[in-house]
Amino acid sequence: MATELDDIELRPARRRFLLGASALAAATIAPGLLLYQVGQASESDAKTPRWGLLIDTNALSEADVDACVEACQREHGWHSEAGSKTDAQWIRKVGLSEPGSDQQRFLPMMCQHCAEPPCVAVCPTGASFKRADGIVLVNKHTCIGCRYCMMACPYKARSFIHEALHDQLPVAPRGKGTVESCTLCVHRVDRDGANAVPACAEAVNRAGRKPILFGDLNDPDSEISQRLQRLGGTRLRADLGVDPGVRYQGL
Protein backbone atom coordinates (compact mmCIF):
# COMPACT_ATOMS: atom_id res chain seq x y z
CA MET A 1 0.00 0.00 0.00
CA ALA A 2 2.77 2.40 0.98
CA THR A 3 4.71 1.72 -2.21
CA GLU A 4 1.66 2.37 -4.33
CA LEU A 5 1.20 5.71 -2.64
CA ASP A 6 4.83 6.49 -3.47
CA ASP A 7 4.28 5.53 -7.09
CA ILE A 8 1.30 7.81 -7.35
CA GLU A 9 3.27 10.69 -5.91
CA LEU A 10 6.39 10.11 -7.94
CA ARG A 11 4.93 9.57 -11.37
CA PRO A 12 4.09 13.20 -12.34
CA ALA A 13 7.36 14.43 -10.83
CA ARG A 14 9.31 11.78 -12.72
CA ARG A 15 7.56 12.73 -15.94
CA ARG A 16 8.48 16.39 -15.41
CA PHE A 17 12.07 15.38 -14.71
CA LEU A 18 12.27 13.31 -17.89
CA LEU A 19 10.79 16.11 -19.95
CA GLY A 20 13.26 18.56 -18.42
CA ALA A 21 16.17 16.21 -18.99
CA SER A 22 15.40 15.72 -22.66
CA ALA A 23 14.96 19.44 -23.22
CA LEU A 24 18.34 19.99 -21.58
CA ALA A 25 19.99 17.38 -23.78
CA ALA A 26 18.50 18.99 -26.87
CA ALA A 27 19.79 22.37 -25.77
CA THR A 28 23.32 21.45 -24.79
CA ILE A 29 24.49 18.90 -27.32
CA ALA A 30 25.44 19.89 -30.85
CA PRO A 31 23.00 19.25 -33.73
CA GLY A 32 23.15 15.63 -34.84
CA LEU A 33 24.48 14.54 -31.46
CA LEU A 34 21.23 14.58 -29.52
CA LEU A 35 21.17 12.05 -26.73
CA TYR A 36 17.38 12.02 -26.75
CA GLN A 37 14.84 13.12 -29.25
CA VAL A 38 12.65 15.65 -27.49
CA GLY A 39 9.65 13.97 -29.10
CA GLN A 40 10.26 10.76 -27.20
CA ALA A 41 9.43 12.35 -23.91
CA SER A 42 6.46 14.27 -25.21
CA GLU A 43 3.18 12.38 -25.19
CA SER A 44 1.28 14.89 -27.29
CA ASP A 45 3.33 14.08 -30.38
CA ALA A 46 1.90 10.57 -30.59
CA LYS A 47 -1.11 10.26 -32.87
CA THR A 48 -4.31 10.26 -30.84
CA PRO A 49 -5.78 6.79 -30.80
CA ARG A 50 -9.35 5.99 -31.63
CA TRP A 51 -10.46 2.99 -29.61
CA GLY A 52 -12.85 0.55 -31.17
CA LEU A 53 -14.10 -3.02 -31.15
CA LEU A 54 -14.28 -5.62 -33.88
CA ILE A 55 -16.88 -8.28 -33.14
CA ASP A 56 -16.85 -11.50 -35.13
CA THR A 57 -20.41 -12.82 -34.93
CA ASN A 58 -19.40 -16.04 -36.71
CA ALA A 59 -17.35 -16.97 -33.67
CA LEU A 60 -19.96 -16.00 -31.06
CA SER A 61 -22.56 -18.46 -29.82
CA GLU A 62 -25.66 -17.41 -27.91
CA ALA A 63 -23.95 -18.54 -24.71
CA ASP A 64 -20.94 -16.36 -25.55
CA VAL A 65 -23.14 -13.28 -25.91
CA ASP A 66 -24.83 -14.11 -22.60
CA ALA A 67 -21.36 -14.36 -21.06
CA CYS A 68 -20.52 -10.88 -22.40
CA VAL A 69 -23.62 -9.40 -20.78
CA GLU A 70 -22.94 -11.14 -17.50
CA ALA A 71 -19.30 -10.04 -17.49
CA CYS A 72 -20.32 -6.42 -18.07
CA GLN A 73 -22.84 -6.61 -15.23
CA ARG A 74 -20.23 -8.03 -12.89
CA GLU A 75 -17.59 -5.52 -13.92
CA HIS A 76 -19.81 -2.45 -13.48
CA GLY A 77 -22.34 -3.67 -10.95
CA TRP A 78 -25.55 -3.18 -12.96
CA HIS A 79 -28.47 -5.57 -13.10
CA SER A 80 -31.43 -6.04 -15.34
CA GLU A 81 -34.71 -7.83 -14.86
CA ALA A 82 -35.75 -9.99 -17.78
CA GLY A 83 -38.37 -8.17 -19.84
CA SER A 84 -38.07 -4.84 -18.06
CA LYS A 85 -37.93 -1.87 -20.41
CA THR A 86 -36.59 0.58 -17.86
CA ASP A 87 -33.70 -1.34 -16.35
CA ALA A 88 -30.05 -0.60 -16.91
CA GLN A 89 -28.79 -1.99 -20.20
CA TRP A 90 -25.16 -1.29 -20.95
CA ILE A 91 -24.98 -4.24 -23.30
CA ARG A 92 -27.66 -6.57 -24.62
CA LYS A 93 -28.07 -9.67 -26.69
CA VAL A 94 -29.58 -9.18 -30.14
CA GLY A 95 -30.75 -12.21 -32.08
CA LEU A 96 -31.02 -12.19 -35.87
CA SER A 97 -32.82 -14.87 -37.82
CA GLU A 98 -32.86 -15.46 -41.53
CA PRO A 99 -36.44 -15.76 -42.82
CA GLY A 100 -37.08 -19.13 -44.43
CA SER A 101 -34.14 -20.84 -42.75
CA ASP A 102 -33.08 -21.99 -39.30
CA GLN A 103 -30.11 -19.68 -39.34
CA GLN A 104 -29.79 -17.69 -36.14
CA ARG A 105 -27.09 -15.31 -35.15
CA PHE A 106 -26.42 -13.46 -31.91
CA LEU A 107 -24.47 -10.32 -31.36
CA PRO A 108 -23.69 -8.12 -28.37
CA MET A 109 -25.13 -4.63 -28.76
CA MET A 110 -23.73 -1.73 -26.82
CA CYS A 111 -22.74 1.92 -27.27
CA GLN A 112 -21.12 2.06 -30.71
CA HIS A 113 -18.81 4.94 -29.71
CA CYS A 114 -19.62 6.92 -32.84
CA ALA A 115 -17.26 9.44 -34.38
CA GLU A 116 -20.28 11.71 -34.89
CA PRO A 117 -22.40 10.81 -31.87
CA PRO A 118 -26.00 12.08 -32.03
CA CYS A 119 -26.23 11.78 -28.22
CA VAL A 120 -23.51 14.41 -27.90
CA ALA A 121 -25.17 16.68 -30.46
CA VAL A 122 -28.47 16.83 -28.57
CA CYS A 123 -27.19 17.05 -24.97
CA PRO A 124 -28.27 20.40 -23.49
CA THR A 125 -25.61 20.47 -20.75
CA GLY A 126 -22.58 18.97 -22.46
CA ALA A 127 -22.73 15.97 -20.15
CA SER A 128 -22.81 13.59 -23.08
CA PHE A 129 -19.39 13.92 -24.61
CA LYS A 130 -16.75 12.22 -26.71
CA ARG A 131 -13.26 11.89 -25.32
CA ALA A 132 -10.22 12.72 -27.43
CA ASP A 133 -9.64 8.99 -27.91
CA GLY A 134 -13.15 8.43 -29.29
CA ILE A 135 -14.86 6.93 -26.22
CA VAL A 136 -18.36 8.37 -25.78
CA LEU A 137 -19.32 8.86 -22.14
CA VAL A 138 -21.85 10.55 -19.88
CA ASN A 139 -20.36 13.02 -17.40
CA LYS A 140 -22.79 12.22 -14.62
CA HIS A 141 -21.74 15.30 -12.66
CA THR A 142 -23.42 17.48 -15.28
CA CYS A 143 -26.15 15.11 -16.53
CA ILE A 144 -29.60 16.41 -15.62
CA GLY A 145 -31.42 13.27 -16.69
CA CYS A 146 -33.42 14.77 -19.55
CA ARG A 147 -32.89 11.61 -21.67
CA TYR A 148 -32.62 13.44 -25.01
CA CYS A 149 -29.55 11.32 -25.72
CA MET A 150 -31.56 8.14 -25.24
CA MET A 151 -34.03 9.32 -27.86
CA ALA A 152 -31.26 10.43 -30.22
CA CYS A 153 -29.26 7.19 -30.07
CA PRO A 154 -30.12 5.01 -33.10
CA TYR A 155 -28.77 1.94 -31.29
CA LYS A 156 -30.83 2.29 -28.08
CA ALA A 157 -27.57 1.97 -26.23
CA ARG A 158 -28.37 4.16 -23.27
CA SER A 159 -30.51 3.64 -20.21
CA PHE A 160 -31.74 5.80 -17.36
CA ILE A 161 -31.44 5.06 -13.65
CA HIS A 162 -34.89 5.40 -12.11
CA GLU A 163 -34.21 4.23 -8.57
CA ALA A 164 -31.70 5.12 -5.87
CA LEU A 165 -28.80 2.65 -5.92
CA HIS A 166 -26.51 1.24 -3.29
CA ASP A 167 -23.23 -0.65 -3.35
CA GLN A 168 -21.88 0.74 -6.59
CA LEU A 169 -18.41 -0.39 -7.54
CA PRO A 170 -15.41 1.99 -7.35
CA VAL A 171 -14.76 1.72 -11.09
CA ALA A 172 -18.35 2.48 -12.09
CA PRO A 173 -20.09 5.30 -10.19
CA ARG A 174 -23.80 5.19 -11.05
CA GLY A 175 -26.70 7.12 -9.58
CA LYS A 176 -30.39 7.90 -9.77
CA GLY A 177 -31.42 10.53 -12.29
CA THR A 178 -28.57 10.07 -14.74
CA VAL A 179 -28.17 8.31 -18.06
CA GLU A 180 -25.55 5.63 -18.55
CA SER A 181 -24.17 3.35 -21.21
CA CYS A 182 -21.19 1.21 -22.17
CA THR A 183 -17.94 3.01 -21.33
CA LEU A 184 -15.75 0.67 -23.39
CA CYS A 185 -14.36 -0.26 -19.95
CA VAL A 186 -12.71 3.14 -19.83
CA HIS A 187 -11.06 2.40 -16.47
CA ARG A 188 -9.20 -0.49 -18.08
CA VAL A 189 -8.35 1.55 -21.18
CA ASP A 190 -6.89 4.35 -19.06
CA ARG A 191 -4.82 1.80 -17.17
CA ASP A 192 -3.67 -0.51 -19.97
CA GLY A 193 -3.91 1.59 -23.15
CA ALA A 194 -3.71 -0.45 -26.34
CA ASN A 195 -3.33 -3.65 -24.32
CA ALA A 196 -6.66 -3.15 -22.53
CA VAL A 197 -9.23 -5.92 -22.75
CA PRO A 198 -12.83 -4.83 -22.04
CA ALA A 199 -14.79 -7.12 -19.73
CA CYS A 200 -17.01 -8.46 -22.53
CA ALA A 201 -13.98 -9.39 -24.60
CA GLU A 202 -12.29 -10.95 -21.60
CA ALA A 203 -15.33 -13.17 -21.10
CA VAL A 204 -15.21 -14.74 -24.56
CA ASN A 205 -11.63 -14.42 -25.79
CA ARG A 206 -9.44 -17.47 -25.55
CA ALA A 207 -5.86 -18.08 -26.58
CA GLY A 208 -5.61 -17.65 -30.33
CA ARG A 209 -9.29 -16.81 -30.70
CA LYS A 210 -10.57 -13.29 -30.29
CA PRO A 211 -14.21 -12.92 -31.31
CA ILE A 212 -14.18 -9.47 -29.67
CA LEU A 213 -11.07 -7.50 -30.49
CA PHE A 214 -10.22 -4.18 -28.85
CA GLY A 215 -7.76 -1.83 -30.46
CA ASP A 216 -6.77 1.46 -32.03
CA LEU A 217 -8.59 2.16 -35.30
CA ASN A 218 -6.22 5.06 -36.02
CA ASP A 219 -3.12 2.89 -35.91
CA PRO A 220 -2.71 1.06 -39.25
CA ASP A 221 -0.42 -1.51 -37.59
CA SER A 222 -2.78 -2.49 -34.80
CA GLU A 223 -4.35 -5.95 -34.90
CA ILE A 224 -7.86 -4.49 -35.24
CA SER A 225 -6.87 -2.31 -38.21
CA GLN A 226 -5.05 -5.21 -39.86
CA ARG A 227 -8.04 -7.48 -39.46
CA LEU A 228 -10.42 -4.81 -40.75
CA GLN A 229 -8.11 -4.27 -43.70
CA ARG A 230 -8.01 -7.98 -44.48
CA LEU A 231 -11.57 -9.09 -43.75
CA GLY A 232 -13.62 -5.92 -43.53
CA GLY A 233 -16.22 -5.03 -40.95
CA THR A 234 -19.79 -3.78 -41.00
CA ARG A 235 -20.86 -0.54 -39.41
CA LEU A 236 -24.41 -0.96 -38.12
CA ARG A 237 -26.75 1.55 -39.80
CA ALA A 238 -23.86 2.93 -41.82
CA ASP A 239 -26.45 4.98 -43.72
CA LEU A 240 -26.78 7.31 -40.75
CA GLY A 241 -23.22 8.50 -41.16
CA VAL A 242 -22.39 8.42 -37.45
CA ASP A 243 -19.30 6.25 -38.08
CA PRO A 244 -19.47 3.77 -35.18
CA GLY A 245 -16.23 2.61 -33.54
CA VAL A 246 -17.73 -0.84 -33.03
CA ARG A 247 -17.61 -2.98 -36.17
CA TYR A 248 -19.18 -6.38 -36.82
CA GLN A 249 -18.12 -9.27 -39.01
CA GLY A 250 -20.35 -12.02 -40.34
CA LEU A 251 -23.57 -10.06 -40.64
Interface positions with other proteins (CB under 8 A)? 1-2, 5, 8-9, 11-12, 71, 73-75, 77, 79, 129, 131-133, 137, 139-141, 164-171, 173-176, 178, 185-191, 199, 202-203
- Please choose, from the candidates 167, 145, 155, the residue with its C-alpha nearest in 3D space to the C-alpha of residue 78: 167
Rounded least distance, CB 125 to other proteins, Å:
13
Furthest-apart CA pair in the chain: how many Å?
Answer: 75
Rounded least distance, CB 31 to other proteins, Å:
35
Query: Element (H or E) spanning 106, and its range?
Result: strand 104-110
Rounded least distance, CB 147 to other proteins, Å:
17
Rounded least distance, CB 165 to other proteins, Å:
8
User: Which is nearer to other proteins, 146 or 240 (by Cβ)?
Assistant: 146
User: Which is nearer to other proteins, 174 or 235 (by Cβ)?
Assistant: 174
Rounded least distance, CB 19 to other proteins, Å:
16
Cα–Cα dist 231/59, whole Å: 14
User: Which is nearer to other proteins, 204 or 228 (by Cβ)?
Assistant: 204
The per-residue DSSP string of 21-84 comes to HHHHHHHHSPTT--SS-HHHH-STTSPPP-EEEEEEGGG--HHHHHHHHHHHHHHHT----TT-
DSSP 163: S
Rounded least distance, CB 131 to other proteins, Å:
7
- Inter-residue contact 120 to 136 (CB < 8 Å): yes
- Please choose, from the candidates 188, 187, 163, 185, the residue with its C-alpha nearest in 3D space to the C-alpha of residue 174: 163
User: Which is nearer to other proteins, 202 or 219 (by Cβ)?
Assistant: 202
User: Which is nearer to other proteins, 79 or 156 (by Cβ)?
Assistant: 79
User: Which is nearer to other proteins, 70 or 250 (by Cβ)?
Assistant: 70
Distance of CA 214 to the CA centre of its chain: 8
SS3 category, 145 = coil
